Amino acid sequence: MRSLIAALVLCFAFPLAALAQRPALVDRIVAVVNKEAITLSELDDQVAMAERQLERQGTPLPNQADLERLELDLALLVGELHREAERQPALAAEGIAQREQQRTRHA
């Protein structure tokens, strides 16, 4: 009888332990640009950098949703520039270089 009770306890204990150890969501994909995923943590980093830049300039901060959307739009634009650079390297390289230079200047 004891072995039956022990077997039943083990049958219920293992599934409960497995439920307690479910993997937690660490990050998620918020956009895909040129087959490259943009994760929520990457977006958060870009938004934080933009907030710091705006604060240094004394510019009022837009609301969080607008700032996130602007950063995603910027990522899409940069992705389009990179795609164009693959098609027309001489023309697009200058545009990408100028945009990256502006971005690092403001960061």
Domains of the chain in sequence order = 26-106 (1.10.4030.10)
Cα separation of 68 and 46, whole Å? 8
The partner residues of 33 in beta bridges, in order of sequence, read 36
Q: 3-state class of 82 per DSSP?
A: helix
- Tell me the pTM: 0.57
pLDDT of residue 88: 78
Q: What is the dihedral of CA 107, 86, 38, 99, to 10 degrees?
A: 20
- 29-33 vs 36-39, strand pairing mode: antiparallel
Asked if 67 and 44 touch (Cβ cutoff 8 Å), the reply is: no
End-to-end CA distance of the chain: 71
Task: Give the model confidence (pLDDT) of 62-97 as tens digits.
Answer: 999 999 999 999 888 888 888 877 777 666 567 777
pLDDT of residue 47: 92
Helix, strand, coil percent content, the chain, rounded in steps of 5: 75, 10, 20
Greater confidence (59 vs 85) lies with: 59
